[in-house]
Each structure stands twice: as structure tokens, then as C-alpha cells.
């Protein structure tokens, strides 16, 4: 998949000479959060829909409100994960795209990027989601991969999904193909990883352990 195939140019960028009324008409027709503002091929910024709708003098040019321009953009070389972070950080559903010469070439829409991510093998393949936690100084990505593969699993991908600076720990989310998730779970525990996700097979094993422990206490009475 080439992420650049999702670059669009259906919504024409406005200029600072465009009127507030013209921008409001664009927003009235399309459910977008920002409109790119371009002059001579150069991106000046994006006008947020929330700000445009508060301007009462619709005949004013946008240059009168240039201080409202939001500054964010993507590059042609950005990856799928880069784009998802950009969308989240800027609370938008449209991101302008610049090429290597910093020239405006179009935009990405959030729905297209999310669809592309959902269709990736990381999410689309049948797999188990496992979240483990450990002290920042003790965990390693290579060890996590080794644990999964040594336990008969296949690692599709992993990422740091949470970080607790108070307790100096991290949570790592894994997507794993396996016929026995419990074997992987128990191996992680032997390496002092805490299992955050809940798994039915693990519940059953832990229940058996509790019963066995109770039985030993009973017999020792």
C-alpha cells in the first residue's frame, strides 16, 4: 500500500483574498474541520471551521483573520502512523500535504487513513491482543519478541501504548498469532511481566492454581 495514493485535491484550497462567506459556504457543504490556505503554492496554514463560523462580517477577506490560522501539515514521506498522530494531535479530519519542495499538493482525510489502518495486517489478521507491563529499565522489545516466538507464536507488531512516569512503568500492546495464548502469557510472567489484558484460558489456569493451593492447605491441616 502506498499511503500517497490517498492524497486528495477535491476540496480546493482558499487564499487570503477569499472571503469569509466563501469559507463558510465550503463548511456548509462539507463536514470538514479545516480549510487549507495557500498562496503561490505555499501553505500558509488552515482556517478552523469553529473560528470561521464565529465571524459575523462575511464580506471580509480571510487575511483580516490570519492570526487564526492553525499551523500543521504532513509530508509526502510520512507513514500511516505519523498521520494518525497528526490527526489526533490537531483534532482535525483534514491534513494538508507538502512535497519535498514544501509545495502544497493536496490533503489527507481522516476517514481514508483510518480505513487504511484498519485494513492493515496488524489489525485485519485473526490474532490475539496482549498487553504487558514492566519497569521501563527492565523491558526490551527484542526480549518481548523472543518470548512470543519461543512460545510458538508469531508477532505481527507491537507498540508502547501507555507510560506511567509515577511508577516508572510502560505498557506494550502486542498483536500475536498463536494457538495457545496461555503459554505465551505464562512465559511473560516467568520474565516478570505483568499481564494487563484478560484471557479466558488464563482465568481457567489461574483458577486451577488457586484450587490446588487451597487443597494443599487443606491437606496440611
Where along the chain do its domains lie?
Answer: 3-117, 128-217
Considering the four listed CATH numbers 3.30.930.10, 3.40.1080.10, 3.40.50.1220, 3.30.70.260, the one that applies to the domain covering 128-217 is 3.30.70.260
Mean pLDDT of the residues in the chain: 88
What does the pLDDT average to over 22-51?
Answer: 96
Residues 80-94: tens digit of each pLDDT: 989 999 999 999 999
Pick the residue with more confidence: 69 or 206? 69
Tell me yes or no: is domain 3-117 CATH 3.40.190.10.
no
Alpha-carbon gap, residue 147 to 181, rounded angstroms: 12
Q: How far is CA 89 from CA 1, 20, 92, 96, in A?
A: 24, 26, 8, 14
At 164, give phi and psi (nearest 5°).
-110, 100
State the Cα–Cα distance between residues 94 and 92, nearest whole angstrom: 6
- Hey, what's the cell of 153? 507464536
Q: What pLDDT is attached to residue 218?
A: 46
Judge whether residue 213 has pLDDT over 70. Answer: no
Average pLDDT over residues 88-101: 96
Mean pLDDT check: name the lowest of 34-38, 51-55, 90-94, 124-128. 124-128
Smallest CA-to-CA distance from 37 within 1, 11, 3, 76 is with 11
- pLDDT of amino acid 12: 93
Q: pLDDT confidence of 19, banded at 50, 70, 90?
A: very high
Ramachandran region, residue 106 (left: φ > 0; alpha: ψ -120 to 50; beta: rest): left
Q: What is the pLDDT of residue 220?
A: 55
If we measure between CA atoms, which residue out of 69, 65, 8, 67 comes closest to residue 35?
A: 69
Amino acid at each position: 500500500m502506498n499511503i500517497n495514493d490517498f492524497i486528495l485535491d477535491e476540496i480546493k484550497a482558499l487564499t487570503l483574498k477569499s472571503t469569509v462567506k466563501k469559507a463558510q459556504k465550503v463548511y456548509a457543504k462539507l463536514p470538514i474541520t479545516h480549510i487549507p490556505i495557500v498562496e503561490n503554492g505555499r501553505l500558509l496554514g488552515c482556517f478552523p471551521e469553529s473560528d470561521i463560523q464565529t465571524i459575523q462580517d462575511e464580506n471580509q477577506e480571510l487575511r483580516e483573520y490570519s492570526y487564526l490560522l492553525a499551523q500543521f501539515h504532513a509530508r509526502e514521506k510520512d507513514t500511516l502512523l505519523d498521520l494518525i498522530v497528526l490527526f489526533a494531535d490537531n483534532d482535525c479530519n483534514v491534513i494538508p500535504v507538502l512535497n519535498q519542495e514544501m509545495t502544497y499538493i493536496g490533503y489527507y482525510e481522516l476517514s481514508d487513513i483510518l480505513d487504511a489502518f484498519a485494513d492493515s495486517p496488524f489489525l485485519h489478521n485473526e490474532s490475539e491482543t496482549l498487553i504487558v507491563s514492566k519497569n521501563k529499565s527492565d523491558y526490551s522489545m527484542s526480549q518481548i519478541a523472543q518470548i512470543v516466538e519461543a512460545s510458538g507464536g508469531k508477532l505481527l507488531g507491537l507498540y508502547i501504548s501507555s507510560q506511567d512516569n509515577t511508577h516508572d512503568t510502560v505498557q506494550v500492546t502486542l498483536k500475536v498469532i498463536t494457538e495457545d495464548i496461555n503459554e505465551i502469557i505464562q512465559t511473560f510472567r516467568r520474565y516478570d511481566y505483568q499481564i494487563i489484558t484478560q484471557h479466558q484460558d488464563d482465568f481457567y489456569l489461574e483458577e486451577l492454581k488457586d484450587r490446588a493451593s487451597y487443597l494443599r492447605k487443606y491437606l496440611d491441616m
